[in-house]
Each structure stands twice: as C-alpha cells, then as structure tokens.
Chains A and B, each alone.
Chain A
Amino acid sequence: MTNTLRQTGRYGFLAVAAVLSVFPLYFMAVSATNDSQDVLASQLTPGGKLIENIQNLFAAQDVVGAFWHSTVNAVVTTVLALAVSSIAGYAFEVYHSRAKDRLMWVLLLAIMIPFAATMIPLFQVFAQLGLVNSTIAVVLPVIATPFLVLLFRQTARSFPHEIIEAARMDGVSELGIFFKMFIPTMRSAYVAATVITFLAAWNNFLWPKVILLNNDYQTMPMLISNLLSGYVTDYGALMLAVLITSVPTIILFLALQRSFVAGFTGAVK
C-alpha cells in the first residue's frame, strides 16, 4: 500500500468518524434556528427563526432559573465530590492496609445496582430528614462515589512516597501534605475528575426530578422534559433548549481537554 493511499485511508476514516460524531450536534444547532414544522421535516439548513425560538422558549420556561440551578448543582457537586473523594482515595493508598483494601472492594458494590431500585429508600431518608426540595438532597447522594475514590487512589499510586517522608521530617502535618503537596502535584487528575463529575452532575435527571418538588430548584434537564410533555410541542424551542443545555459541558471539555488526557495518563501509570 503506497503512502498516499494509506494517508488517504487514514484521513478518510478519521473524517468519517468526525463527521458522524459531530453531525447530530450540527442537526441540533440548525434545528434551533428553525420552526417546529421544519424541524419535524428534518430541515438541515439554518432558518431565520432563532430569535423567535428564543422568545418562545424564554416565555414558556424559566430558562435563566433552570440554568442557574443546574450550574449551582453541578458546581457544588463537583467541588464537594473532589474534596470528599480525593482525600479518601489518597488515604486508601498512602495509609494502605489490608483492611482498607477490603473496604475498597465493598464500596465498589455500590455502583452495581440500578438506581431505580434504591431511589425510593433514598427518598425516604431525605423525607425523614426534612431535606426534600433542597440542593443538599440533590448533591449529597453523588459526591462520594466509589469511582472517584478509586480514581484518586490510583492517582496517589504515582505520588512519590519520598516526598511524603521528606515532608513529615520537615514537620508538615498529614493534612498539610495532602493540601500542599498532593493536590498541586496531581492537578491533571483533578481536572479529569472535574470534567467527568461536572458532566454527570449537569446531565443528571432521574434523581433531581424525584427529589425536587417545586419550581424553586428546577434544572435544565427538567426544563427539557417540560417542553416535551405538552399536547403541542414546539420543536424549534425544544432544540434550542437542548442546545443551551449542551453548551456548558462542551465548553468545559474544550477548555480542559489537554489536561483531561494527561489526567488519565497519570492514573494509568
């Protein structure tokens, strides 16, 4: 196979993969500029209806509010998740013991059961605590996940113990070592964890819709669900809402993508 042929094959394959990946997003974006009828007719060219769709959408739903709530939920979840899970993962590795290993295994069981089964007992817990309809209720179940704990445990494996020993001899406290040495060194792992956690929290639908019972806390996914549930759906406005919902996660990834790849590299080592 000549080099040119191989090159064409290679770029061709990548181009196809890229186009297939991006096309649905393109369709989403274009549909946001068309009216309902045209979206249903699968029109692929942009129409002039963006302003109209914006007006209809913002009149029908509290987009700003939902966006804000989604942002608050995602940011709070991400920050707390990183804090709680990373220090635990760090400890599983740096203060390693057989007992801790076994505990790690046990904790992993928690991700193996479908959420639909544990949803109601979980709701009951929050109802009894009087915390239904609160940001705490949305955030608490997802900030300590076995996955994140494990990710940070693996990351801690590539954290040189000589640094720890040296710091201890300098009289730095255990907590100090974690904050002043571990976190700065493992920056890329934190970035990777940020992207993943933010993504999951932002798109989270099932639990928030069950635990949030009034207008004060509606999120973007709930807003989209509202748009779909009327007798008449405005598909242009719907696609616009979908686009608005997808933008923050796309921007976050674009901004952090280099660090994201390096983060997993650290864990893989």
Chain B
Amino acid sequence: MKIAVASGKGGTGKTLVAANLASVLSKDVSTTLVDCDVEEPNLHLFFPSPVTTADVTVPMPVFDPEACNHCGKCAEFCRYGAISVLPNRILFFPELCHSCGGCMLVCPNGAIREEPVRIGIVTTSHPSNRLTLVTGILDEGQSHATPIIRAAKEMGGSSDLIVFDAAPGTTCSVVETVTDCDACILVTESTPFGLHDLSLAYEVMKLLNVPSGVVINRSDGEDAEVLAFCRSHGLSVLLTIPFDRGIAAVQNRGELISRKDRAWEEMFAELYARCRTLVGVHE
C-alpha cells in the first residue's frame, strides 16, 4: 500500500503525520518513508542515522562551437526560452531548461549533445530494523523539483508499505508525489487558510482519482467549518490532533509523539487502519 500525506497549505503537520505513521507501522512491517518535499525536506531530522547518497542529474545540452553554424533551429524549437543564438555565439540559460532533448533532436549539424548536470541528491538510510528512509533534496538555487521527486520515488522501490510526504501546494510536485498512490491523507488546520487550501488539495486528489481522508491538526475545538466541508464532500476525518504546546515541543525538537506516548502510538496505528478502509471503500 502506498499512502501519500499532502496538504495544500504549508506547515499544517504533514511531516508530523508521515513520521509518526511510518514509525509506528515499522514496528511490525517493513516500511519505507519517502520525503518528497524536496525543496524543504524535514523527515531526516526525526530519524538521524547514517545515509548513503546518490546524485540526481538531468541531461542538459552542450554546444559544439566547431559544428554549430548558428542556424538558430534549437532556439526556435525551445519553448522555454533557454537558448539564444547570436551571430557568433550561443547563450544557454540552464535554469530555464526542462531537459526535453528537443534542441539535440532538431539540430541539423549534430552540434548538440547532452551531459548530466546535478540538481540534487537522494539519500537513503535505515533508522531502524524495518524502516527505510529515502529523502530527495533539491540543491539550493535549482528550480526543478519533479526530477528529484521521481528519483526519490524510484529509490523508495516497491516495498509493500510506503509513506510519501508531499510538498505543500497543489501543483507539479504534489501531482508527481501522489500519482500512483493508493490513498492520500490531507492534513489541515481549522482556519480559513487551512480550509481554503484543503479544498484545493481535495480537487487535486479528485483529478488524480486517489481516495483521500482528512487529519485535522492543532485543533482547538473550532472545527465546525472543516467538519462541514468534509461531510459535504464525503471525506472522512481520519484523526484529530489537538492543539497542545506539549505536542508542539516534542515535534519542534525532532522527536515523535508516538514514541513518547503509547496512546499516540495506538492512534497512528488506527490511522493506518482507516486508510485501508478508504482504499477498500473505493474499490
């Protein structure tokens, strides 16, 4: 089973949910946790252990000045504006390049080849016997997150149980993470921001046809609007985590509430059981 944890709004507690869920599950079964929030990955802070590192590269064009006759076909083809051909030289803007390979295909002179360029890394560690953590990390200054997410998902392999921690938002990074998942946990908070962004994230799950349920985090009891939204959209509330300075203090220091408190361990086990029901109902 592949479970994604997503949110729309940032800082609602995706990492708290993913880290505790995977930690609890890995007591009994082999579990892989994949950090797909590659712009700001945080899961590794909760599971410090030695990592192995692999570079993530994307192919980028290299221009052979001898073979190039400045015909400009590459620049004309590139839809991202990554190439400018001047009478005597070529300007290439790597931050705009999507690595589609088109320039190389259209060059009539064979003057373009591709070379791998590093944009980030994927690290793998084994914080406990049955837990594998895979983290995608975009290099600072790079802009394309999806190739890193793809690499991290591939590295996560095909374990029976995988938990993916998604980036905030509703666009490419989230789509890349949630695609092919069996279920998605949407983490929200009871504010107009939380609700607004939950409704957007829910639209993405509908589009991708991934069954989803909701975790309300930092609940101070004022949940009526979120609950009404869930009811009217047929979303089940899988877990409610109260606002509690104690929980915040544990989380803020990189520790796990499910390790500190037996009751939370049981609640995260129950969260998994409810995710399974989500999938069953869907089928």
Same complex for A and B? Answer: no
List residues of A whose CB falls within 8 A of some B CB.
none
List residues of B whose CB falls within 8 A of some A CB.
none
